[in-house]
Structure 1
């Protein structure tokens, strides 16, 4: 079977990150297609060093059109689509080719996006269709989607994305999303993405309005549906619209039940709710513990875009803080130990601060 793979990219002024991306991919692909939309730095020279075929393209505020032009230049059986602020951290070509040969499909790769909030770096893990068989094209001015009826399968390619740490793209993205919305006024995904852009700008009232519109258009079968609810809960919490958040949670959508991020968000929300007015909301106190326990019971998810740790170490750490607040130190230490064993450094530091490690050393020295 012909299993050639092309790396297909659109770029503009990417000299800071392009070499890293190409270095990570060059060993895995047969050809590299670079479509430049107007670089004025050393982007093209960097691409040339890796033997890329380079094409110029006049940018027209349409990501699908640019990506499709790039795909038109490929001569390979499969096309791996990446951005310059992404790079491959793991790829098992043997298993990949075997998977692709078993049935006609589109490949969803794992994209780990680094984010920073309140000084702590987190990882958001998504599964995005970026490995396309020849002939498949994109649609959508922005947040473009592969247009195909073929099934989508997770494939053994992991990519790290750190673009969110470096710059905000909202100034570019919001006008494109609004333009797309004019053509698709009932598209819940566009409303969701607009909400995310405004949430990133901390314009949470505007974000909430878009999330509400997205939620009302969902049927629950969309892969991103649980993420809409989670982002909406966080936005409502931040602007203290507690009644609306409670109504959302109490609707008990079945399609949220297996999403750890949802239960994790509920735990955070219930804590904020109780703290806002203990006299009125104290009856919701047990829901904090219950929510984190649900997250942990589900575990990490590969069905939806998720924040790493919501089904494991982050939920365990927050649950430990809950137990510690109420003097349930044995349970707190147990959760912190589990989170530490999963590599969560913050839990290890908390254990040390509690004196657990020192106590363990003393007991060991006494032969206990």
Structure 2
């Protein structure tokens, strides 16, 4: 029977650490926590769960800290979680079957909580977090597992609210700049720093880096679809609306089954028409088509995506479209369907 360690790095995580450890304590054989300089009682909380706690001098490099933590593990397999994450489904048997079934990288589903203009929102992504001993990370920030082993999606669901609770751009942007100084041609770090700038509403810099990421991607990257969608939103945010038409046309076939792309296109068409109604009023039917396409695709795990683009959020936006174009019957039907999924903006709209 293979053994499994939870391996963590943490600093001043007393607020959320117990929640994380409660969710995983019964699933692992060992807990390793490497503390990078806490001034609260993070280490005491960890020890109360019988964790092995190690001190590490923070050197502005996440992969090196994680790899030091992995070196302390004595198990056959390692599970990586952060303190602002916690397992939210029954998955013990799934994990045990996976680690006893041969070497591979386990990708778990993470649900990220964030704020948008309508309030609380959620996005989902699959991340490599369960792997055999000996595998390490690379990258100063947004570090990645380095391995040629195959990746397998697992029915393990983790909630993450760290970026909802506090903005981390002050920490992340300088580290991302260092990565870009080392390799300005890496689209991944242009994409990541753009997300940080978007979070602090510096849309101009977000646009600059997304434009660069878009120019550099090969479309084989797992994150390439999200670069394109975020670039379209950046185009909207900075008002370079003419650019969006070409982008949508170029990427329509590549992203034909990605609800987030069609959702962003619907948002874009509305802004374009409102910006120059006389010129673009003929594109009005494309708004309806975009959201209908989202609903046809539905919610899927095929991409890292915002939850709701294939269901309630598209129903709501379609309801708004029908309302302002005078089709009250269709509008009400859309709002009712979204409200049945507990989407608060539609409940309020009704």
Band the TM-score falls in, shorter-chain normalisation:
over 0.9
Matched, 1:115 2:147: no
The answer for the alignment partner of 1:282 in structure 2 is 281
Aligned to 1:94, what secondary structure does the other structure show? helix
Structure 1 segment 176-255 matched on structure 2, within 5 A: 176-255=175-254
The answer for the alignment partner of 1:145 in structure 2 is 144
Aligned to 1:256, what secondary structure does the other structure show? coil
The answer for the alignment partner of 2:93 in structure 1 is 94
Structure 1 segment 49-68 matched on structure 2, within 5 A: 49-68=48-67
- CA deviation vs aligned residue, 1:101-149 (integer Å, no higher than 9, x gap): 4442111111111111235100111111111211111000100000001
Structure 1 segment 1-368 matched on structure 2, within 5 A: 2-118=1-117, 120-351=119-350
Structure 2 Cα separation of the partners of residues 298 and 99 of structure 1: 30
1:194/1:325 Cα in 2 relative to 1: closer, same or farther (>3 Å)?
same
Runs of 4+ more than 3 Å apart: 99-103
Structure 1 Cα separation of the partners of residues 151 and 90 of structure 2: 18
- Count of equivalent residues: 350
Structure 2 Cα separation of the partners of residues 153 and 232 of structure 1: 29
Aligned to 2:208, what secondary structure does the other structure show? helix
- CA deviation vs aligned residue, 1:248-279 (integer Å, no higher than 9, x gap): 11213533221111100001111111111110
Shift of 1:92: 1.4
Structure 1 Cα separation of the partners of residues 102 and 244 of structure 2: 43
Shift of 1:66: 0.3
- CA deviation vs aligned residue, 1:220-257 (integer Å, no higher than 9, x gap): 11111010011111111011110112221121353322
The answer for the alignment partner of 1:357 in structure 2 is none
Structure 2 Cα separation of the partners of residues 127 and 255 of structure 1: 20
Aligned to 1:27, what secondary structure does the other structure show? helix
Structure 2 Cα separation of the partners of residues 303 and 96 of structure 1: 21
Q: Are the counterparts in 1 of residues 115 and 164 from structure 2 also a CA contact under 8 Å?
A: yes
Aligned to 1:251, what secondary structure does the other structure show? helix
Shift of 1:19: 1.2
Structure 2 Cα separation of the partners of residues 302 and 123 of structure 1: 14
Aligned to 2:64, what secondary structure does the other structure show? helix
Aligned to 2:26, what secondary structure does the other structure show? coil
Structure 2 Cα separation of the partners of residues 204 and 344 of structure 1: 27
Aligned to 1:108, what secondary structure does the other structure show? strand
Structure 2 Cα separation of the partners of residues 28 and 216 of structure 1: 43
Q: Highest CA radius of gyration, 1 or 2? A: 1
Q: Are the counterparts in 1 of residues 111 and 124 from structure 2 also a CA contact under 8 Å?
A: yes
Unaligned runs of 5+ in 2: none
Structure 2 Cα separation of the partners of residues 35 and 165 of structure 1: 24
Q: Are the counterparts in 1 of residues 207 and 238 from structure 2 also a CA contact under 8 Å?
A: no
Shift of 1:185: 2.3
What TM-score comes out, normalization by structure 1 length? 0.92
